[in-house]
Structure 1
Amino acid sequence: MSLWKIIIEALLTLVHILTDRLLEFTLGWYLGPHKRVATPQSIDQQVILTKSAVDLAKQIRERQLKSYDIVKAYIERIEIVNVELNAVVDGPFTEALEQAKQIDKKLAENAYTEEQLKALPFLGVPFTTKDSTAVAGKRHTLGLQSRKDERAKEDAKCVRLMKESGAIIIATSNVPEVNKWIESRNMLIGCTKNPYDLRRSVGGSSGGEAALIAACSTGFGLGTDIGGSIRIPSFNCGIFGHKPSSGVVNMAGCTFRTGKEKQTMVCAGPMSRNATDLRPILQVLVEPEQRSVLKLSQPVDLKRLRYFYVPNIGMKQCNPINRETERVMYKVRSHFKSLCGQEVALASIPETQLTAKMWRYWMTQEPANFNLLLGNGVELNPFIELFKKLLGQSEYSMAAIYSLIDSVLPKEKESVICTASQKCKQYLQQLLGDNGVLFFHSSPRTAPFHYYPLVKFSDFSYFSLFNVLHLPATQVPMGLDVNGMPLGIQVVANDKNDRLCLAVAEELERVFGGWVPPFSLKK
């Protein structure tokens, strides 16, 4: 490397650091003092709210807890914390209490056979999903003022499957307009706030979902992910989230998808406070023909896996990795070295410096027209919308207008991007094989203040790379930083090797503790 190149890179790093600190100082001053979400009202409520979905289901089946009491506790929690979080679009649904009451009645009467109970793994457990995923009869706005009164005619396939597993839907959660931004803000509902610091971003697009889960306002949630939309909010809010391999979960009813799309980066997947919930939820969601391919029930011997890591993505537009984030990677590498008796190997993935360009190109190949989605069927002019925004007359957020402007900018070179994408994917396919796992930073830094992404947004490329490559990735919480914000790491495997990601996530939860409550626990 030449001296001039070293000097330029050092100056660029300095600019990133100074800009980051200036934004942190300015936005921190503007948004006021730090405040967290409220603590549960009682120890009894806290005990229920902090249990895993799997534990709740088990205790309902064994009649140690009543579904009614669980649903009631979560509904009461939503009513308290949503005043601060602004995460709910529709709900809580009071009819959920009647559904829970009927489940308890049937259990008391032994009306379920053993075979029926086996087919209802989440019987009586409350869950939520993002507003863009259809729930029959409920608001389906996609964050648009033009859709404020729209209601879904039928359930999305993933919602229907969860209901058929016995789970009870209790609310839908906030998203950015048509899911296309890394902060959950729109002009209809407003901005969703982070339970760990109400001044900070929950991420997007499944941001309302992550906020509710982290704040113990739902048993678990369903998200969708086209550029990090499960994993960014999961990281920002300190929970677990899994982006499955492409095509294993039917997308019908998610942001108007039909489920018949042959080539798409978007996936639906589980979000939870507990790693041990992810696998059983995914087992409910996967298409029947994919079950034998995924082998989710097959045990994973962690000592026989091969482990790799990448120190950074190599994009000059991204923030440099900060020290606390580097320490997370060091702790993970140290643990798996001691577990397996060999070093976690350094991987040099080619072309990752083009990640932002790759994702931008592949978004243009998606079956959905995001301009038309944003206009609710009407083609929008980005410059007219920008002018209206400057006059305070636009019904769209600045982030949505960014996306509109991006749609008229020069396109990426198809040959360059296709070659880079293929080269990157082939390298990882050969590197990981059927028993390899990659540790990848979630982000160079923890959740930023609201509005920060309007200035610096490239860090989301750490997530979007795996949408481009159609690989499964699990977001794992790894404690809190000095500001009390969640740290984390991504666990990635080869296509259809989701079970490896999930097994490693469970091990990381066991060793490092997983989700940390955003409130003080009552004793």
Structure 2
Amino acid sequence: MALNLLRKSQELFIFLTIRILLLVFRLISHFKASPSAASRRLPPVRDPLLLLPATQLARKIRRREVSSVEVVQAYIDRIQEVNPLINAVVKDRFAAALQEATQVDKLIEEEKGGEDVLEDRLPLLGVPVSIKESFAVQGMPNATGLISRREFVSTSDAVLVALLKRAGAIPLGVTNTSELCMWAESNNHLYGIARNPYDLNRTPGGSSGGEGSILGAAGAVIGVGSDIGGSIRMPAFFNGIFGHKTTPGIVSNDGQFPPSSGRHLEYVSNGPMCRYADDLLPMLRIMAGPNLKMLSLDMKVDLKKLRFFTLPDDGGRSLAFPVSSEIKDMQRKMVERLESDLGVRVEEVNFPELQYSTQIWMTYMSLPDDDGKPPQPFTELMGEPGPPVKPLWELLKRLLGMSDHTVAAIGLAISEMANPAAPPPFILQQKKSLQEKVDKLLGTDGVLFCPPHPRVAPRHHEPLLRPYDFSYTAIFNILGLPVTQCPLGLSKEGLPLGVQVIGGKLQDQVTLAVAIYLEKTFGGWRDPGSI
């Protein structure tokens, strides 16, 4: 009884803190938005090169049907056209990218081994890529939205960036994030707020929101995100693209800020974000590096031999809001089409433990590692490279418009003050029970469909009113499962709809195969400028 009261008091404390902060901050933030940008739409895509998957672009470049310089220039032109509206790319390297593209074209001209040799050795040769700013890219900032790190420039590449470069990809720049990658909206006081290409009044999500936004706007074809609570999948959903949260431990986290601590490496996953489903698997092959052998990406997946399950919502009893009828209806239509096309049966399932998804995520995120070392306090990260911040002092400064930190970051720092000294046994038991049920259900051939969020992309700053809606994605981080976020057309308002495709541990190839089917069936990404 005492633990239940403590847990409920903690939840109420966090909820009321964020609500009070919002009353003042939402008005201030509203007037900071650009009225001219908010009232305009993105221009449609005109260059046909922007409408080809990365794998097709790489093939055309290898065959000299188009030059890498032409492709890179086409994407530079598109970024320059849309970025003033969406604020997704925070630092470009266009001059360096064009130089690298020139070198690619020269290499292809001089190559004697033929196209097959180039494809095997450099599968993304000459193809542009965008990178989330939290990953180190040599010569680029790596501040993750912290004003105190604005002068920091990376002197080397993160492991996954180096792997993509080694495969021939050409980074165009780095993209906007939430402050310290710990919020559902990409907004910070260093770079400003990123916008959704389908509606500039709405958020592209977080923390990989800049990636989602530039990809959705056709300013990039492939990109890189990270996900510890939905930071790939929510932006992929809000921006109408594909995003894959890999099985944890497959893609290296070295070279990302903030670094993982506590048990975070068990829950964080880095992965590809793409406009086209066909690019997901080739990207993952490259990004996995030496851990590729842990997966079965060469295994041919027969969709008709899989077992399918659907989860319409979390039972409606959690801290998150219930799923909207429009998202539920789209998932139901997807299930009906799947059954009709493949001749399979999709079974509806529910897990009562999901009503505690938020509490499970918060509890496990605060657990110490095997050596007993707890996660680095958020107040320390906010103060990098100086001393820790004082949350209540930052709250006062924020109310006066003087803090360098966002209300979301301050709210998270304050919520840490309410963390219980020991993890609640009841929540640990709920996670254990849920893990056993889901692992048994999925095995090696099971697929679970689940809403990625209770609603389509919300308006700017509205996540502060509904801070726990991320639980629909976050629970699968704690369960350690691969998940592919797939677009499923548009809502009545012209905003992307979508679904999470969840597989068993290390069964990434299964969810990627389903993603290709869903793209062919429901059309995948839609040009926001043509809606």
Q: Provide TM-score, normalisation by structure 1.
A: 0.90
Of the candidates 340, 348, 351, which is equivalent to residue 349 of structure 1? 351
Paired residue total: 493
Question: Residue in 2 aligned with 1:312?
Answer: 313
CA distance in 2, matches of 1:472, 1:191: 29
Preserved CA contact (<8 Å) 2:318 2:354:
no
> What does 1:365-376 correspond to in 2, within 5 Å?
365=367, 367-376=375-384
**Pairwise CA distance, 1:259:** 11
1:102 counterpart = 2:103: yes
CA distance in 2, matches of 1:404, 1:427: 33
**Pairwise CA distance, 1:256:** 4.6
Of the candidates 13, 38, 46, which is equivalent to residue 43 of structure 2? 38
Of the candidates 390, 400, 410, which is equivalent to residue 391 of structure 1? 400
> What does 1:249-264 correspond to in 2, within 5 Å?
249-257=251-259, 263-264=265-266
**Pairwise CA distance, 1:66:** 0.6
CA distance in 2, matches of 1:100, 1:280: 20
- Closer/same/farther in 2, CA of residues 63 and 450 from structure 1, 3 Å limit: same
Deviation per residue, 1:80-136 (Å, 9 max, x gap): 211111112211431110110111112122355543431211000000111111101
Question: Residue in 1 aligned with 2:214?
Answer: 212
- Closer/same/farther in 2, CA of residues 79 and 501 from structure 1, 3 Å limit: same
Deviation per residue, 1:167-219 (Å, 9 max, x gap): 00110001111101000000011100000000000000000011111111112
Deviation per residue, 1:476-517 (Å, 9 max, x gap): 001111111100000001110011100001100011101111
Q: Percent identity?
A: 39
Question: Residue in 2 aligned with 1:504?
Answer: 514
Paired residue secondary structure (1:456): coil
> What does 1:66-85 correspond to in 2, within 5 Å?
66-85=67-86
Question: Residue in 2 aligned with 1:379?
Answer: 388
Preserved CA contact (<8 Å) 1:106 1:112:
no
CA distance in 1, matches of 2:521, 2:261: 38
Deviation per residue, 1:1-43 (Å, 9 max, x gap): xxxxxxxxxxxxxxxxxx9xxx9xx99x987775322224xx4
Question: Residue in 2 aligned with 1:193?
Answer: 195
CA distance in 1, matches of 2:119, 2:325: 48
**Pairwise CA distance, 1:349:** 2.2
Preserved CA contact (<8 Å) 2:142 2:257:
no
> What does 1:40-189 correspond to in 2, within 5 Å?
40=45, 43=46, 45=47, 47-111=48-112, 114-189=116-191
Paired residue secondary structure (1:128): strand
CA distance in 2, matches of 1:155, 1:292: 23
CA distance in 2, matches of 1:137, 1:112: 33
Preserved CA contact (<8 Å) 2:263 2:365:
no
CA distance in 2, matches of 1:58, 1:403: 46
1:234 counterpart = 2:236: yes
Q: Provide TM-score, normalisation by structure 2.
A: 0.89
Paired residue secondary structure (2:350): coil
**Pairwise CA distance, 1:286:** 1.0
- Closer/same/farther in 2, CA of residues 148 and 126 from structure 1, 3 Å limit: same
Deviation per residue, 1:363-399 (Å, 9 max, x gap): 2137444321111142111101001111111000111
Of the candidates 517, 521, 526, which is equivalent to residue 516 of structure 1? 526
Q: Quick check: 188-197 or 81-90, which moved more?
A: 81-90
CA distance in 2, matches of 1:237, 1:283: 24
1:436 counterpart = 2:441: no
Paired residue secondary structure (1:229): coil
**Pairwise CA distance, 1:153:** 1.9
What RMSD, in angstroms, separates the aligned Cα atoms of the two structures?
2.3
Preserved CA contact (<8 Å) 1:231 1:243:
yes
Q: Which runs of 5+ in 1 are unaligned?
A: 1-18
CA distance in 2, matches of 1:181, 1:63: 43
CA distance in 1, matches of 2:364, 2:264: 14
CA distance in 2, matches of 1:103, 1:213: 23
**Pairwise CA distance, 1:306:** 0.3
1:421 counterpart = 2:431: yes
1:406 counterpart = 2:406: no
**Pairwise CA distance, 1:336:** 2.0
CA distance in 2, matches of 1:256, 1:399: 16
Paired residue secondary structure (1:221): strand
Amino acid at match of 1:333: V
Preserved CA contact (<8 Å) 1:96 1:168:
yes
Paired residue secondary structure (1:250): coil
Paired residue secondary structure (2:454): coil
**Pairwise CA distance, 1:343:** 2.5
Paired residue secondary structure (1:103): helix
CA distance in 2, matches of 1:91, 1:502: 30
Of the candidates 482, 487, 500, which is equivalent to residue 497 of structure 2? 487
**Pairwise CA distance, 1:49:** 1.1
